[in-house]
Structure formats: C-alpha cells, structure tokens
Amino acid sequence: MIPEPQRTYLLELLAALGTAADDFVIAGAQAMKFTVEKARGTKDVDFILDVVALRKEPLQLAKVLESLEYKPVPE
C-alpha cells in the first residue's frame, strides 16, 4: 500500500497522463527519482516506461511532470 501523501501525488500523475498512464509501470528500483516540492514526506517513485507505446501518444511527458512540479533529483 502506498502511504499518503505519496498516493495522492501518484494518482494526480496518473490522471494527468490520461490514456498514457496505461504505459506506466510502477517499480521498486532506484533508477529514477522524482520529488515534490514542499511534500510532507520524502519518498521516491520509480517508473518503467513503455517508450514504444508512449511515442504513439499525443503527450509531452516532461511538460506533464513539470506541471505537477515533479523534478529529477540531481546525482
């Protein structure tokens, strides 16, 4: 189970992705991290993307993530 507020952030992201959310898989690896500014908790979410399917979507993933204030964590 995903705790709050991370669950809310994830549901907002999936809603913003629309049909492209079907091509997202949530994983437990540490390959990609995103944080939410001023979050009550500091958890990361990892994604596996079906890039072949996403290329067919009229979606600009970077803009969706930016609109939700997701940012890559610097290495």
pLDDT in tens, the chain (75 residues): 667 887 788 889 889 988 888 877 776 544 445 555 665 554 566 677 787 887 888 888 888 888 988 877 776
The pTM (predicted TM-score) of the whole model is: 0.59
Percent helix, strand and coil across the chain, each to the nearest 5: 40, 20, 40
Instruction: Provide the pLDDT for residue 15.
Output: 93
CA-based nearest residue to 70, from 25, 28, 17? 17
Instruction: Provide the pLDDT for residue 32.
Output: 41
Q: What are the residue boundaries of the structural domains of the chain, listed by start? A: 6-72
Instruction: Provide the pLDDT for residue 9.
Output: 84
Instruction: Provide the pLDDT for residue 6.
Output: 77
